[in-house]
Amino acid sequence: MKRTHQLSSGQPLTMQTLRAHGVDVERILSELVSDPASCGVLLTGSLAAGNGTPSSDVDLMVLVPHRTSLISTKEGVRFKNSRFSEALQYCDGIEVNIELAERSRVAEIMTWMTAIAPALYKPSELKFIPIIDGPELRFLHRLRVGLPLMNPSLVASWRDEFLVELLPTYLTVRHFMEVHEYLEDAISHRAISEESSRHVARIAVEEALVSILAALGVTSAARKWLLIESRKAMTTAGEEDRGLLEEGLLLHADCATGPLGGCLTRIEALHQRMAQRMSAEPELARAVEFLQGSIDYVLEHQG
């Protein structure tokens, strides 16, 4: 039976702290991989982010550097997707979710991140930009922000090799472009179905919020928590970023029932404000300047 814990009480979260509360990471690892000493382990999820509760699950990510065979065990449930293996265990009533990333199975993600670099620093040389979503994006986010528990030097090495510090910039630029793409779709849908146009317009606003948050270093903005993350970020953001987030939140609500034409014009204006804000950042300016050259704003001169 699942029970609560005191891991969110503000004490440092270490291997020893987890063990004292019934979560023995070394024991868990010994049941999952044949060579625990070669692995890196990170605490991820809400506990690592500092917003956990007494009922939060313990989320672990295990970095497996070699083709280590997974050990069969009667405890928990294990399954694989295309790249990751996952296990669920209960340690003294505490739910522990484990994601195992084997190096050979995630190597392609490293290749993608290497390909992304020109899009950020030399966009004129860009041949393609990989679209990273789902488990792969979650892996990069967790690797970037997770709390190392075991073999921190191995964790640091993976972070360097997977270029995880590019993740905020990548998400900022990618979703910035998607705002315009969805806005164009919303405009074209308007003649066919206002309901459809409103739906697509709200997606454009969500893309804007994801981009703004990424520029602030927030790479965990899952869609179901997007509005909450945006409101949370407003409490610490500077005046300009706070204004962008506030307008995005207002637009997200207004696109449901407000005048559609006005909403579309405001989305375009928000996009332009985002471009101005991003251009002030040296690591974003070149990419934004290049990408803006391919954008044709269609509403700004309409009455």
Supply the mean pLDDT for the chain: 88
Amino acid 283: pLDDT: 74
**Domain housing 106:** 1-162
d(CA 269, CA 44) in angstroms, rounded, equals 37
Amino acid 298: pLDDT: 61
Spatial CA neighbour of 210 closest among 154, 274, 161: 274
We report the CATH number of the domain holding residue 68 as 3.30.460.10
153 contact partners, CB below 8 Å, separation of at least 6: none
Intervals of the chain under pLDDT 50: 301-303
Amino acid 303: pLDDT: 37
Query: Is the whole model's pTM more than 0.85, yes or no?
Result: yes
d(CA 239, CA 245) in angstroms, rounded, equals 10
End position of a domain, from candidates 162, 189, 209: 162
Which tens digits make up the pLDDT trace of 171-188? Answer: 998 899 899 999 999 999
Amino acid 207: pLDDT: 96
Same domain, 18 and 143: yes
End position of a domain, from candidates 162, 182, 199: 162
Same domain, 4 and 105: yes
Neighbours of 97 (CB within 10 A): 16
d(CA 288, CA 172) in angstroms, rounded, equals 10
Identify the sign of the CA torsion 151, 156, 158, 164. Answer: positive
Name the DSSP class of 85. E
